[in-house]
Amino acid sequence: MGKLVSAAGMNALVTGASSGIGRGLALRLAHEGARVALVARRVPELEAVAEEIARGGGEARVLPCDVSDRAQATGIAEQVLREFGAVDILVNNAGYGHHRTFLEWPLEDMERMMRVNYFGALYLTKALLPQMVERGRGWLVFLASVAGKLAVPDESAYVASKFALVGLGESLSFELEGAGVHVLNVCPGTIRTDFFDAEALRRMPAVARRMMTDPGPLIDAIMKALRRGQHELVFPRFVGLGSVVRAIAPGFMRWSVRRTVLAAHR
């Protein structure tokens, strides 16, 4: 139970589907035979994804939405249920981040980041989970971050939103055990997408830039994790060692993080 053997014939909703990881997952799910609802704010980019899916013989629906707006998110969920009949796979991927110290971070942006990164996932999960439980089938995917497991300087608001998302997904995975709904938390390291703008790259430690990978291998890993019925995916796997180091040697971990981040700002 919980293993996604095939996405063929299923209905999926992917947020943040206009670019990056969301786009890659939407294309992969459609390629495997799922009907995909594409959710994001940028309509031209969503339409381009839908056209690519159509050229491959798949089916997609463009649904512009700001997931941080509760009314919009709830309305989109209701619309998809009316048009698709059901949603089997919900990929909560929408999110953004910045690299700033807490003191220089505008409060308005910190609030918005929590609304997009956490509350957007909360709204759609709350709206779509009941029909999954009722049917005894469903998959929830939360695109969090390694920053949702390990706090680092210069990302306080982002880290807080991802810690919240990881906590939500992990708690739900226990609550839904036996209900036929499977939860997968995804915690990637640095992935080469539009997420990392010039500001982020400038402030990013050299070691993080060296570890940056393309989205393709992550998409492969997510699909493999779903087929295996995993509850958590840390990608690449070795970045998960940070949690082990923090548990065993917290002082060393603090020294290492401070040294790495300070070196990036010299």
- Write out the catalytic residue numbers: 158
DSSP 240: G
Q: Which structure tokens are listed for 55?
A: 């050229």
The pair phi, psi for residue 134, each rounded to 5°, is -60, -40
HSE-CB of 212 using CA atoms within 13 angstroms: 14
HSE-CB of 31 using CA atoms within 13 angstroms: 11
User: CB under 8 Å to 219, separation ≥6 — which residues?
Assistant: 21, 24, 25, 28
Task: List Cβ<8 Å contacts ≥24 apart for 107-114.
Answer: 109/157, 110/156, 110/157, 112/68, 113/157, 113/158, 113/161, 114/157, 114/160, 114/161, 114/164
Element (H, E) at 73: helix 70-84
